[in-house]
Amino acid sequence: MSQRPPINPRRRFLKGAGLAAAGALAAPAIVKAQTPIKWRFQTYAGAALGEFVTKPIIDAINTAAAGALEIELYYADQIVPTGELFRALQNGVIDAVHSDDDSMAAPVDIAVFGGYFPMATKQIMDVPVLFNQYGLKEIWTEAYDEVGVKWLSAAGQDPCHFNTKKKITSLDDLSGLRLYTFPTAGRFLSQFGVVPVSIPYEDAEVAVQTGELDGMAWSGITEDYTVGWADVTDYFLLNNISGAWIGSFYVNPDAWGALTPELQALVMSCIEAGHFYRTQWYWGGEARLRASGEKLELTSIPAAEWKQVEDAAKVFWKEMSETSDRAARVVKIFEDYNAVLEKAGPPYGLG
Is the pLDDT score of 82 beyond 60? Answer: yes
Confidence of residue 259 (pLDDT cuts 50, 70, 90): very high
**Which domains, ranges and CATH numbers included, belong to the chain?**
36-156+245-286 (3.40.190.170), 160-244+292-344 (3.40.190.170)
* Run of H or E including 224: helix 221-227
Could you tell me whether strands 96-99 and 246-251 are parallel, antiparallel, or unpaired per DSSP bridges? antiparallel
CA distance to 69, 132, 167, 300, per residue, from 57 (Å): 13, 20, 37, 35
Confidence of residue 348 (pLDDT cuts 50, 70, 90): confident
- The β-bridge partners of 160 are 242
**What is the per-residue pLDDT across 27-76, written as a single tens digit (0 to 9) for each?**
333 333 478 999 999 999 999 999 999 999 999 999 999 999 999 999 99
The mean pLDDT value of the chain amounts to 91
CA distance to 28, 83, 140, 203, per residue, from 216 (Å): 62, 18, 28, 12
Q: How far apart are CA 31 and CA 165, in angstroms?
A: 62
**What is the per-residue pLDDT across 101-146, written as a single tens digit (0 to 9) for each?**
999 999 999 999 999 999 999 999 999 999 999 999 999 999 999 9
Per-residue pLDDT, 350: 66
Per-residue pLDDT, 342: 93
Mean pLDDT for the stretch of residues 228-246: 97
**What is the per-residue pLDDT across 126-137, written as a single tens digit (0 to 9) for each?**
999 999 999 999
Backbone phi, psi, residue 32, to 5° = -75, 155
Mean pLDDT for the stretch of residues 9-37: 43
11 Cβ neighbours under 8 A, 6+ residues apart: none
**What is the per-residue pLDDT across 208-233, written as a single tens digit (0 to 9) for each?**
999 999 999 999 999 999 999 999 99
Per-residue pLDDT, 349: 79
